[in-house]
Every structure is written in structure tokens, then in C-alpha cells.
Structure 1
Amino acid sequence: MILPILMVVGMLLPAALLLSLWRGSVQSRTEWYVKLLALAMFFVWIFFSGRWDWGGYPLRWVWPVLFLAAVFASWKKARRLPAKTPLSKKQKWSIAVYAFLVLIFGTYNLGVLTSHWPADEALEISFPLRSGTYYVAHGGSQVQMNYHSAHPPQRYALDIVRLNRLGTRAKGLYPKELTRYEIFGDPVYSPCTGKVIEARDDLPDLTPPEMDPENPEGNHVILTCDGDDARLLLAHLKRGSVSVKNGEKVKEGQRIGRVGNSGNTSEPHLHIHAERDGAGVPLRFGGRFPVRNDLVR
């Protein structure tokens, strides 16, 4: 189900809206401005909150370029129109629909913007992956950018994948072979010096889209960093790769496992989050609070 939704929202719908701006007819500049504002709100939203690791990260910049081209072509016609005209019933409905879209996507964009600033004090750690260009698929403090935010303990959780040279997370849209996912098998390193308080290593790596809701974390490591009592979880690790045990002291940068596809996960990725007393704790890497569409190299 996710693939058709992504295709419609990420490809077909933007193309249809651009065509409506490029070739559509309006009767006044006022009508054109309302339509333009609505489409601008939409394209800002998909630029910042779309999942660009599916079709290719460079494609993220295609829609803004096409949008500006459509604006230019459309304005050449709209500038000759009167500022206002008596509105037909059809025009009134058109303006009402576009005004509604301005409200909806303006609200979405407010969530996208505020997602960049956590409301709580962050835990500063090092990034746990080192093998390439990594993409934040889910991250931020609002649900528009991070579905985990609906769950208080995981409010600031991150889901991370790795991109290939084409800017996609896998060879193919949604392959079943785990090795076709760029991140599968990547070494995971301890993001801080601390102590392991829980580790598991016996669960199988599942074939997408199989999931294991009874063991949501899958193979995982939970640790506490020196000087902080937050529980830091690194989840969905590869079976047989976890190299630390309960109670073991670990150093920052020490390898603790490999990325797998165990637990309640739809495809290989690294899930990481911290919580304290049942509340999510923001994570910073080198002073940076990552959100969806951020890259870490």
C-alpha cells in the first residue's frame, strides 16, 4: 500500500498541480495569487517532509526547479489579467478550495518548521555509523517529520538508512533481498562511553515486508552513557552481530553490532532513541539535531 501512496503524493500529484499552474486558466490576478500560494505551500511541504530516499535524493531538487519554471510561464499570462473581476460560482469554488489548501499545507509546514527545534535538553553523542552517506528517514520533534513523535518515549527517535551513488536507499523500490539495501550489514558503533544494560542477538532477520510486532526492538543494544541516566536504544540489529553483553563497559566508537532487519521493522535500517523516565530525549550529533531529509556523511 505504501508504494502507491508514495507515487501519488511524490510524483503524480505534483506533476498534475504543476500542469494546472502552467496551462490552467484564471480570470484575475487575485485568483492566480491564491492558486500560486496554495501550490507553493504544497511544494514546500513535499520538499522538506517527502521521503526522497525512495526515488533518489537528487530528485528532491527537481520539483522546486519545475515549480519556478511553471510560475514563470504562468505569470506571463496572468500579468495581463485585471486585478479583480466579478466571480462566477465556479471561480468562487476554485478560490475557496485553494484557500483551504493554503490553510492545510501552511499548518503542515508549521509542523515541519518547528520539528527542527526540540523542546527538551538534548543528549550529545557521536553518530553510530561510519560507512557512507546516511539519510534520516524519520527524525524531528513533530509527527509531520517523524511518526515516532506520537509516542512519548520515542518522541525524538531516528530511523536511518544509507544512500548509494544514485541517492536511493536500495537497489529497487522495495526489494525482498536484504543485501540490496545499502545499510544492511553496516557496522554500528557505540555512540558514547558507558555501560550496556541490555543486549539481544538471537532473532532472525526478516524478509521485507515481514515484521515481528511481538519483539519490536529485534536484536538490540541498550546502554547508558557515562554521566547520564537516559536509556539509549539501538535497534533492529543483524542476528549474530551483537558483540557486547549485559553489564559490559563500552567505549565511544567501539563496534557493538551490525545493521539488520530484526523485530518490528519493514526494511533494514538503524533505529536509535533515548528515553528518561518514559519521556523521549533529543539526540545531537556534533551539536546537530537531525530531522528527516538530513544527510550525515
Structure 2
Amino acid sequence: MERFLYIFIHVGLPLLVLVALLRIRPKSRLALLGNKAFYLLLLTFIYLWGQWPLGASLYFKYVVLAILLLCLWKFFRAWPAGASRNSRPTPSSGQTGLSQQTRISGMEGLWPRGVWRWIRTGFVLLLAGLLAYPVYQLVAGRSYPEEPVQLTFPLRDGHYYIASGGSNQIINNHHRASTPSQQYALDINKLGKMGMATTSLWATENSAHAIFGEAVYAPCKGRVLEVKGGVPDNQGASMDVSPEDGMGNFVVLDCDGTIVHLVHLQQNSVAVATGQRVLTGDLLGRVGNSGFSQEPHLHFQAARYQADSTLVGVPMEFGGRTPVRGDVVQLP
């Protein structure tokens, strides 16, 4: 059921908006404004929030972008035709009365007529207003308020998709007051064929994920603070693990005061030991699906201790880029 809902959000919902764009003809300018505002905000939210390789394909987001542009085109094309029927404009030279009537057919003026149309228009305007704030947050969350720490991306050889990351909770599900060390954490997936994270749309097994088993390398020079390597990998979205195994298999590094976590590694893949010194690029382990993880991915975070000994997350920069949700990191 969860997989079906995920596919519906990424595929079904945009297609429903397309059907509504093609079939629904608002009867007033206010209804037209409300409908198009709602469609635009909904499509913008899905475009920026969507975890496209997990829900469909990275390339399907451009289908959503095309629908969004169609929505804009239809709005600007329809808006001048909002004159009242009672005005009955005189056809311009070369334009027949029939064609002019076709352009404004169905439009009753500025305001809706009838109680039901007022209720329907008001409801759509309310939905558009409710969507405005999360869309703003998705845009605002693409920049970081703090100076990032310079690290090397911990994966190689491929195109990697940032499924979660940014500076607020809407664009980054780790950004919570209860877990300050994770506030700028990234969830990373690998792109396979057709821009998908898996071999097929409905695949759930670990081996079907392009990132499962990928080598994870040290993003900085430092010392290994803690490791764990014996937690079994979850099968599919099942997370039957105890709270103490919530991070699954992991490696924690201290890189000159920056505490780096690489989490949800594959069982028995950790290649370093506590207290060991590592150099940037040293093998640490392999990507798995252990702990509180519903699909194979790499959870990656950096944090620093504050004066009160609280570990607080810091943004991460790789080769001049501070990636956020929806970005693709291409590596040789």
C-alpha cells in the first residue's frame, strides 16, 4: 500500500492535474485564478519535494514541469477571455463573431454566480493558500544559513541522487529540534537505468537498488570514533529492529573536530575499527539497508560540538556544491 501511495503522488497526482487542466473550465475570473494558483502550487510542490528515482524516474519530474508550463500557458491564454458575456465585444477585423464567442464561451465575468460556485471557488483558493507556505519552505530550504564544512563525497562511480537534504524540515526530514546533530544530514541514492533507483517500478528487494553494496569511502582525514557492523539488513521496507540498532551498521569519524556519521551500512561490510586513523578516500564499508531504513541508501551527516557539549549539525560542501533534496551529484 505504501509503495502504491508513493507512485500515486509522483505519477498519478500530476496526471490528474493534467486531466483537470484539459477538462475543467472555470466560469469566472476568480475561479480561473483560484484553479490555476492551486494547480501551479501543487505541481511546484511535487516537483521540488518529490523523491523521483524512488517514486518513478528522475526524468518524470520533467513531465511534471511540462504540465506546470502548460498550466501557465492556459492561464495566460484564458485570462483575457474573461470579459462578461453581456459586454459582447465587437469582432475585430478579420475575426468572425463565432470565433470571438468561442474564446469567451463559458466565462461569466469576474465573480462566480451562485452559492455552490462561490463555495467551490473559495475552497480551491483556501487549498492554494495552504500550499503557498510549504512551497516557500521548499525554495527557502535550498540555501544554508551557515558556513559549510568541506568534505569529499563518500561515493564514487555514478550519478547519486539527494533524496533528502536542505535547511528546513519540509525539504529535509532530518531537520528536527529533537535531533540537532542531523539537521543538515543527507540521504543519498544512486541512479540506475532510466533514472530509477531500482531495476523496476515495483521492486523492493535490496539487490534491486542501484546503491546497495556500493563502496563507501572516508570523506575526510581523521580517526574512527565508533563502528557497528553486525546488524542484519532489512528486507524491503520492513524495519524490525530494536531502538539500539536504529542506526544499523555505521562508522563515526572525528575529522579535526567535525563528527561525521555514515549510517545504514551493509551487514559485515565495515572495513575499519574503533581508534583507527583513516585518510580521505579510505574504504569504510558498503551501503546497506540496516537500522531504521526502508530502502538501501546512505545517511550522511556532519556535526560539531557546541560550548554546552551539544552536537549540532553543519552543512556539507563537496567540490564547491552544497547539495539539497533533488540534486544529482555526478562522479567519475
TM interval, short-chain normalised: over 0.9
> Could you tell me the percent identity over the aligned residues?
32
Give, in angstroms, the shift of residue 99 of structure 1: 1.6
> Within 5 A, what are the aligned runs for 1:207-286?
207-211=235-239, 212-214=241-243, 215-226=245-256, 229-276=257-304, 277-286=310-319
Change beyond 3 A, Cα 1:231–1:174: farther
Change beyond 3 A, Cα 1:68–1:121: closer
Q: What corresponds to 1:125 in structure 2?
A: 151
Local SS of the residue matching 1:257: strand
Q: What corresponds to 1:21 in structure 2?
A: 21
> Within 5 A, what are the aligned runs for 1:76-87?
76=77, 79-82=80-83, 83-85=109-111, 87=113
Tell me if structure 2 keeps the 8 A contact 1:21–1:71: no
Alignment deviations for residues 144-169 of structure 1 (CA, whole Å, 9 cap, x no partner): 11111123221111110101121110
Give, in angstroms, the shift of residue 69 of structure 1: 3.0
Tell me if structure 1 keeps the 8 A contact 2:184–2:301: yes
Q: What corresponds to 1:143 in structure 2?
A: 169
Q: What corresponds to 2:91 in structure 1?
A: none
Distance 1:20 1:174 in 2: 27
> Within 5 A, what are the aligned runs for 1:1-297?
1-54=1-54, 55-73=56-74, 76=77, 79-82=80-83, 83-85=109-111, 87-150=113-176, 151-211=179-239, 212-214=241-243, 215-226=245-256, 229-276=257-304, 277-297=310-330
Distance 2:284 2:200 in 1: 29
- Aligned letter for 1:51? Q
- Aligned letter for 2:328? L
Change beyond 3 A, Cα 1:85–1:103: closer
Structure exhibiting the larger radius of gyration computed from Cα positions: 2
Local SS of the residue matching 1:134: strand
Tell me if structure 2 keeps the 8 A contact 1:181–1:268: yes
Output the TM-score relative to the length of structure 1: 0.92
Give, in angstroms, the shift of residue 78 of structure 1: 5.2
- Aligned letter for 2:53? D
Give, in angstroms, the shift of residue 40 of structure 1: 0.7
Distance 1:91 1:105 in 2: 21
Q: What corresponds to 2:95 in structure 1?
A: none
Deviates more, 1:116-125 or 1:164-173: 116-125
Alignment deviations for residues 231-271 of structure 1 (CA, whole Å, 9 cap, x no partner): 11001111222111111111111111111122221111111
Give, in angstroms, the shift of residue 189 of structure 1: 0.6
Distance 2:6 2:112 in 1: 39
Change beyond 3 A, Cα 1:243–1:69: same
Distance 1:189 1:101 in 2: 45
Local SS of the residue matching 1:142: coil
Change beyond 3 A, Cα 1:14–1:90: farther
Tell me if structure 2 keeps the 8 A contact 1:28–1:78: no
- Aligned letter for 1:102? A
Alignment deviations for residues 37-88 of structure 1 (CA, whole Å, 9 cap, x no partner): 1211111111111110121001100022123335545665554232514532
Q: What corresponds to 2:97 in structure 1?
A: none
Deviates more, 1:65-74 or 1:39-48: 65-74
Deviates more, 1:161-170 or 1:142-151: 142-151
Local SS of the residue matching 1:170: coil
Give, in angstroms, the shift of residue 176 of structure 1: 4.2
Alignment deviations for residues 146-198 of structure 1 (CA, whole Å, 9 cap, x no partner): 11112322111111010112111011335343211100111111001111111
